[in-house]
Structure 1
Amino acid sequence: MEQSLESLDSLDTIEIQPVVNRFGPTLTLLGGSAALLVILALSLVDGLPKLPFYVMLGGALFTLLLGILKCNEPKVSLRLCPNYLQFFHKHGQWTLKWEDIQRIDVPKLGISENYEALNYVGLKLSSHHLILSNISLRLARSILLEQRPVLMQAIKSDCPDGTCPTDLLFEADEFTDEQGEHYNGLLAMLGHRMAHLRQMLGFDLYLPATALDRPLEEFVTLLRRYHSQVQQQDA
């Protein structure tokens, strides 16, 4: 259930239900029912052109697949608790203490008034170690794939003529974090990705708008207020 900004007067746990899995059961039911009806019609009707039925069957199957994919997404994408912020993904999860989050905002490309807001909420962390030491390889791989468009947009913004080196597109498979911990493979690549994005956009992690339950700016306000109240409580 969506928590209004006005009612945020205590540190109750808030669970965010993402827009990405809305209407999943409805689409699954509609798509499945439509597909069965088209198949039944194809078996009973003779002498009519089959192409329109095949087109309708394709649309029904697409709707069914979309509904199934939505149903497979986590019911809760984020959990705001007094001690931590938790993110849920179909391939894993990560947890951060509020004290380890230094900045929350919508990433922007460009400068001054000539900027483009990205469709994400950015989190700047006190250390990359906080994520790299507690994330699964499956989730690390998903983040690398899903946040590649963010990297591409940042590179394009810094180099509009397309003639800049493309080294940032290929993360090295060795990385040492701020704690001196050494990583290889996917975790090393994720470490380099976070370092590159922090340098270009100022943030390490990016929450997509599809994982949220309200407009970006409203969600930033919610996170900031919750973060602020946690700090006041701990002071």
Structure 2
Amino acid sequence: MALSIKNNDGQMTGKAVQHPSIIIKPIAKHNGISLVIFGVLLLLTTLLFAQHYWQSYRFAYIFMILLCLVIILVGAVKLFEPAISLYLTPDKITFNHRYGHWQLTWQDIQNINIVAEVVGVERETLPYIGIRLVHIDNIAKNISVRLANRLIHQQQGLIVYGVLHQLMTMEQAQMNFEPFILSTGEHVKGPIAAFLHQSERLSSAFGYHLFLPADSFDRGINEFSQLLKQCKMASSTYQVN
């Protein structure tokens, strides 16, 4: 979309170009609202019945009240997720998280696909879309420190899965806080270094450096995977008019 710009005399001075974009709102946020409402209704119902049968079923009511509070808490946490989880433009993809964000150009990405592994004779699909980078250096300076630190722990489920299915060893599953050396020779330290080490190990195990959780999408995982692939393909031919 092109927008005309005028100077103080009302004369045309040029055009400002607004890139087309796709905004993704996470389904997790909608689930949060549902959980809070369900938890509150269940709590009110429990308290109503507890007024009459507290002595007979005291421990059962205590358990139900605690369960309701947990449901409400889980829902409330989901409500703190960003309103927009992914922002797609012709030149880049941005992932938003309540702990920060990362951003990459489509040219930084080598491959996008649903994470799946063959277990025995069956193909098991995991609730993630994997992103393989052309070079891991591309993410080093494009991820916030707080998000890198959070993902180290958030991806432990993938680490455990990898160990259980012999995709990585117990030694590889350990966190590595040694400095990470980029291809330029630069040493990266701190949480980002640990995240880069972990990304390399996950890439060796699953074939991807980054993992987008399914609850950060606004549609099915297959449909969203196709959308990302189409965006990457279109980025190479997109030209600003």
Name the TM tier (shorter chain).
Answer: 0.7 to 0.9
For 2:10, the equivalent position in structure 1 comes to none
Is 1:27 aligned with 2:35?
Answer: yes
Aligned residues: 220
Determine helix, strand or coil for the equivalent of 1:217: helix
Distance across 2 between alignment mates of 1:16 and 1:218? 13
Is 1:82 aligned with 2:90?
Answer: yes
Scaled by the length of structure 1, what TM-score is found?
0.80
1:36, distance to aligned residue in structure 2 (A):
5.3
For 2:184, the equivalent position in structure 1 comes to 179
Query: Against the structure 1 CA distance between its residues 15 and 165, is the aligned structure 2 distance closer, same or farther, given a 3 Å change threshold?
Result: closer
Question: Structure 2: which amino acid aligns with 1:233?
Answer: Y
Unpaired runs of at least 5, structure 1: 1-10
After superposition, where does 1:79-228 map in structure 2 within 5 Å? Answer: 79-110=87-118, 114-158=122-166, 165-170=169-174, 171-228=176-233
Query: Against the structure 1 CA distance between its residues 207 and 46, is the aligned structure 2 distance closer, same or farther, given a 3 Å change threshold?
Result: closer
For 2:20, the equivalent position in structure 1 comes to 12
Distance across 1 between alignment mates of 2:121 and 2:41? 50
Q: Which has the larger radius of gyration?
A: 2
For 1:230, the equivalent position in structure 2 comes to 235
Task: Pick the structure with more strand per residue.
Answer: 2
Aligned partners of 2:102 and 2:143 also within 8 Å: yes
For 1:8, the equivalent position in structure 2 comes to none
1:179, distance to aligned residue in structure 2 (A):
3.0
Q: Give the % identical residues.
A: 28
1:77, distance to aligned residue in structure 2 (A):
1.2
Unpaired runs of at least 5, structure 2: 1-18
For 1:73, the equivalent position in structure 2 comes to 81
Aligned partners of 2:31 and 2:75 also within 8 Å: yes
Distance across 1 between alignment mates of 2:54 and 2:145? 55
What is the aligned-residue RMSD (CA, Å)? 2.8
Scaled by the length of structure 2, what TM-score is found?
0.78
Determine helix, strand or coil for the equivalent of 1:79: strand
For 1:4, the equivalent position in structure 2 comes to none
Distance across 2 between alignment mates of 1:106 and 1:136? 25
Among 55, 64, 67, the alignment partner of 1:59 is 67
Query: Against the structure 1 CA distance between its residues 145 and 46, is the aligned structure 2 distance closer, same or farther, given a 3 Å change threshold?
Result: closer
Query: Against the structure 1 CA distance between its residues 202 and 33, is the aligned structure 2 distance closer, same or farther, given a 3 Å change threshold?
Result: closer
